[in-house]
Amino acid sequence: MTASRISGRAKRRPQFLLLAVLGIGALATPAFAADQISVSLDKAKILHLPDRASTIVIGNPLIADLSVQPGGLAVITGKSYGETNFVVLDRAGVVLTEKNVEVTLSNDQSSVIVYRGAERETYSCAPDCSRSLALGDAPDIFEATMKQVTNRNSQSAAAGGSGAH
């Protein structure tokens, strides 16, 4: 009887070791999961920062930008298509949270994309269709549109129309 009892313990030992290793792994994992935030290109989302947030690190600031606002809020803005992440640390350097950020094309129904072979141009059709700036448009179309927008904004600013109230 003693031999079968030892044999039974020996059979359960690998299961016990596996559970012990998994338990230790769970303790070593931070108390948060890396969540996914999806934001459209050129749009912003409001986020609530964890208490004690002191430092924010953006993986790739060419894809998304994050600005801290009063009251524990932050604004994340999609700047280019792709995926990046941000990490929030406290003053001691302890990671409070980490989130993945995916910047995608807006599902705005008022945009129309026209393809001419490999060339692409984007129109905003709300309410009338006019060319708009969009990453991925043909370079000559993008540059011409950008020049018009820049000139218009410069003229507006010179005339005192900053838009700030």
Each domain of the chain, given as residue ranges in start order, spans 1-30, 35-104, 111-158
Architecture of domain 35-104: Sandwich (2.60)
What's the pLDDT score for residue 134? Answer: 87
Is residue 33 helix, strand or coil? Answer: coil
Q: What is the pLDDT of residue 148?
A: 93
Residue 4: φ, ψ to 5°: -70, -30
Residue 27 backbone zone (phi > 0: left; psi -120 to 50: alpha; other: beta): alpha
The 3-state DSSP class for residue 104 equals strand
DSSP states of 35-99:
EEEEEEBT-EEEEEPPTT--EEEES-TTTEEEEEETTTEEEEEE-SSEEEEEEEE-TT--EEEEE
pLDDT in tens, the chain (165 residues): 444 444 454 454 444 433 443 443 444 334 344 589 999 988 999 999 998 999 999 999 999 999 989 888 999 999 999 999 999 999 999 999 999 999 998 777 788 899 999 999 999 888 899 998 888 999 999 999 999 999 999 999 998 865 554
